[in-house]
A and B are shown apart, each in its own frame.
Chain A
């Protein structure tokens, strides 16, 4: 078992996922099985391999370059539509739960 229930709970917390008790057990079993299979990658010697994040330019034999566009205001016609999608709002603002805990002043 690569991932025990404690580890599942820890990852779920990092991932901001609520899991039911029975989901936690099953998730641990499934992830362990999957990761065990994935461990075949460890058979390869990759010490001298450079990671290539620049897929596109390499394929076109072009040097890596920044792609930017001007920071200008363009007229959108979908502001209202986007606002309609917000689950909770107040006076035109997105409503969020309080970030700071009022009682002890910490997160």
Chain B
């Protein structure tokens, strides 16, 4: 289908020129979902009826000559931990399987105002905890590029839906790599914005000092359009702020690139390493300055990230008590209040979520706080300093997004530690609060490889500019 290869701007023009209607466009994607999602399992919920009625409204506006935004009539998918009023929001957890969102997330409000079409909610690792989407309580999502492989995670459904042409773009959330890693493993573009760039209001909280909502798309331009719409200060999230773009690059010659030695050491798939290095040689030959840098605390990022994020998660997830909303054992008369909490949570949460809650509770508990949580926060400061020093010398930092390509379903799920290491190249940026984009850089044995572009705080504009220059070279 031709529309699958079009960018948001091209689709927008076709809608305005009445070459295609929003209803027709929406139905193309709904029928694609109907046709292939039984093999992919990207979606937890598809809005067959409401998507078409949203599109009818856009068609009416266009036919009446009303001005519509660039994203009007563009069909998209939402990760199922982002609230869309009146629809289920499960976070892929049994504990929220019947939860109906009573309000819209701020990013959803912005998308609604722009007139995007909500096709459905996508699968994820339960509460966004995981790197393969195998931790969903409901289904396992398959990588569209190879159905035997995982799509990555936790935004695996959002990445797979974009890759499989089941939507034009999607939103995911990234805490330690959950947008970038699935984008890399599926072969899409995915941005984790700077912490504070996008409002977290209406995102199911996992680790509040790390969580960010961001776009997954087929190309850099589309991702930038979506990011520019959802970013900005929101009074409902006091950590969100407005940011302005500054002077960006006009050609490859303007870009000083940092290459951190710590990202090209043992553990990385040699094919991935070669592909990224070959690409960097190519842009160097076209004028970019490449500087070897060191981020010496990189190897501590994984323990540091898991201690901080699990501690925050153990506090955030204490709200699921069976009293206010969600799955509950309140009905069992013989249970006292403590047993009601214990049973509700023991039965409602899956294994990985329980593990993280236990890890976080331990790290915060009396006697261990200094040794684990406080120490991890101090190491976090060191990781941040590494980046601050590096950015005195360079404009952007390039690394592989993931040390390996998509792995087989079932390969890592039984060994939590080996799954945790999937975030080894994405967690450091998260700890530093920095923005990073993953773009497809090529394929090894038909499996995509992602290039991670890390930028300075609130300089997503520079990342996007560099990425669009790189994208041209990669697609040539």
* A residues in contact (CB < 8 Å) with B: 3, 8, 11-12, 14-19, 23, 27, 30-31, 33-35, 37-42, 44, 46, 49-53, 55-56, 59-60, 67, 69, 78, 81-82, 84-88, 94-99, 101
Contacts and interface: CB of A to CB of B under 8 A. Distances in A.
B340 A97 contact: yes
Nearest to B323: A96
Given A17-B346, A30-B355, A85 B102 contact: yes
B28 interface: no
Contacts of A41: 300, 303-304, 307, 372, 375-376, 379
A85 B425 CA distance: 40
A39 B347 CA distance: 31
B323 A94 contact: yes
Contacts of B341: 16
Interface string B372-407: 101111111110100000000000000000000000
A81 B355 contact: no
Given A34-B420, A88-B323, A97-B330, 6 more contacts: A11-B362, A18-B345, A41-B307, A59-B194, A60-B241, A85-B326
5 A-B pairs with least C-beta separation: A18-B346, A87-B328, A85-B325, A38-B303, A97-B337
B372 A38 contact: yes
B127 interface: no
A87 B330 CA distance: 7
A94 to B, nearest CB: 6
Contact of A15 (B103, B303, B358): B358
Main secondary structure of the interface of B (DSSP, over half): helix
Nearest to B86: A81
Contact of B382 (A15, A46, A96): A46
B239 interface: yes
Interface in B311-365: 314, 318, 321-326, 328, 330-331, 335-343, 345-347, 349, 354-355, 357-359, 361-362, 365
B358 A27 contact: yes
B358 A8 contact: yes
Contacts of A23: 354
B414 to A, nearest CB: 10
Contacts of B331: 87-88
B306 interface: yes
Interface in B245-267: none
Given A41-B300, A55-B209, A15 B357 contact: yes
Nearest to B321: A16
A22 to B, nearest CB: 12
Nearest to A49: B378
Which of A8, A49, A85, A97 has most chain B Cβ within 10 Å? Answer: A97
Contacts of B382: 44, 46, 49
Contact of A40 (B300, B328, B361, B416): B300
B83 to A, nearest CB: 11
Interface string B156-182: 000000000000000000000000000
B330 A88 contact: yes
Contacts of B378: 46, 49-51
A23 B345 CA distance: 14
A81 B345 contact: no
21 contacts: A11-B362, A11-B365, A16-B338, A17-B342, A17-B357, A18-B347, A34-B420, A40-B299, A46-B375, A46-B379, A49-B378, A50-B378, A50-B381, A59-B194, A60-B241, A81-B100, A85-B100, A87-B323, A87-B328, A96-B337, A97-B335
A33 B417 contact: yes
Contact of B307 (A38, A85, A87): A38
